[in-house]
C-alpha cells in the first residue's frame, strides 16, 4: 500500500474518502510509452497505410482469393470446348471407330436393339425419334449411365470409355438406314444434329 502523502487534499464523497496521491512511477511510465506509441501508430496505420488495418487487410486477401478463383474458373472454361458435340462430331466423322463399334454392338446391344438397329426390346435406332436425345453426347450418356428403370442397363462397369464411344458412334451411324423389321417410333422427333425439334420434349 502506498503511503498517503498529501492528506491535506483529502476529500470525502458519500462517505468514501479519497486522497490525491501521486500516480505510481511504473504506471506513469507505461502511460508515457503508450502515448509515444500512439504518435507513431495512428499516423502510420490510419493515414499512411490504412490498407494494413486488419479489416482492410482481410478484405484485400479475400479479394485476391476471389481473383485467383475467377482466373482458375476461366482457365477451366477455356480448356473445355464450348460444345462437346463439336469434338465428338469431328471424331465421328473422322472414322476409325466402325469396326470396334460394330463388334461391341453385336456382342452387347443387338439382343435388345436388333443387329440392324431396327429395335426389339429396346428402341429403333434407324428412325429420327429418340427418347433421350439424338446428339452424340446424349447417346454416350444413355449408354454410360443406362436407364435402369426401363431395362437399359448402365454400360459403365462393363465397357471401357472408348468402347462406349465407339458403340455410340455406331448407334448414331444406324440412323437413316433401313432395317428388316423396324420397331414403331418411340420418343420425340430430333433434327439432324440430334436436338429435339419440339423444345418441350423430354431430355431425360
113 touches ligand HEC (CB under 6 A): yes
Stated as kind and residue range, the H or E segment containing 77 is helix 54-79
Residue of 70, 71, 203, 42 lying closest to 130 (CA atoms): 203
155 touches ligand HEC (CB under 6 A): yes
Nearest CB to ligand HEC, comparing residues 103 and 112 = 112
Q: How far is the CB of 174 from ligand HEC (least distance, A)?
A: 10
Name which position in 88, 114, 139, 190 contacts ligand HEC (CB under 6 A): 139
> Which part of the chain contacts ligand HEC (CB under 6 A), choosing from 20-28, 65-73, 75-83, 105-113?
105-113
Alpha-carbon span 72 to 85, nearest angstrom: 24
169 touches ligand HEC (CB under 6 A): no
Q: How far is the CB of 63 from ligand HEC (least distance, A)?
A: 47
Alpha-carbon span 2 to 19, nearest angstrom: 11
Residue of 130, 126, 146 lying closest to 190 (CA atoms): 130
Residues 25-84 within binding reach of ligand HEC (CB under 6 A): none
Distance spanning both ends of the chain, measured CA to CA: 86
Q: How many residues bind ligand HEC (CB under 6 A)?
A: 23
Name which position in 114, 136, 142, 174 contacts ligand HEC (CB under 6 A): 142
Beta-strand ranges (E) seen in the chain are 11-13, 16-18, 129-130, 188-189
Name which position in 91, 147, 189, 201 contacts ligand HEC (CB under 6 A): 147
Cα 187 to the chain's mean position, in Å? 31
Name which position in 88, 92, 97, 132 contacts ligand HEC (CB under 6 A): 132
130 touches ligand HEC (CB under 6 A): yes
HEC profile of 3-54: CCCCHHHCEEECCEEECCCCCCHHHHHHHHHHHHHHHHHHHHHHHHCHHHCH
114 touches ligand HEC (CB under 6 A): no
Which residues are at the interface with ligand HEC (CB under 6 A)?
Answer: 108-109, 111-113, 121-123, 130-132, 139, 142-143, 147, 150-152, 155, 167, 171, 186-187
Amino acid at each position: 500500500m502506498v503511503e498517503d502523502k498529501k492528506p491535506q487534499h483529502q476529500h470525502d464523497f458519500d462517505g468514501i474518502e479519497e486522497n490525491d496521491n501521486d500516480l505510481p512511477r511504473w504506471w506513469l511510465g507505461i502511460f508515457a510509452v503508450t502515448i509515444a506509441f500512439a504518435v507513431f501508430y495512428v499516423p502510420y496505420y490510419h493515414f499512411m497505410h490504412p490498407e494494413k488495418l486488419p479489416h482492410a487487410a482481410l478484405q484485400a486477401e479475400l479479394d485476391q482469393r476471389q481473383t485467383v478463383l475467377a482466373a482458375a474458373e476461366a482457365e477451366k472454361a477455356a480448356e473445355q470446348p464450348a460444345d462437346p458435340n463439336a469434338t465428338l462430331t469431328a471424331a465421328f466423322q473422322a472414322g476409325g471407330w466402325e469396326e470396334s463399334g460394330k463388334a461391341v454392338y453385336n456382342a452387347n446391344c443387338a439382343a435388345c436393339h436388333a443387329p440392324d438397329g431396327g429395335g426389339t426390346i429396346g428402341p429403333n435406332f434407324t428412325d429420327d425419334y429418340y427418347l433421350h436425345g439424338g446428339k452424340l453426347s446424349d447417346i454416350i450418356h444413355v449408354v454410360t449411365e443406362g436407364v435402369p428403370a426401363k431395362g437399359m442397363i448402365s454400360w459403365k462397369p462393363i465397357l471401357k470409355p472408348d468402347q462406349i464411344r465407339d458403340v455410340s458412334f455406331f448407334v448414331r451411324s444406324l440412323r437413316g438406314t433401313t432395317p428388316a423389321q423396324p420397331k414403331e417410333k418411340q420418343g420425340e422427333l430430333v433434327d439432324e444434329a440430334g436436338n429435339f425439334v419440339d423444345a418441350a420434349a423430354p431430355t431425360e
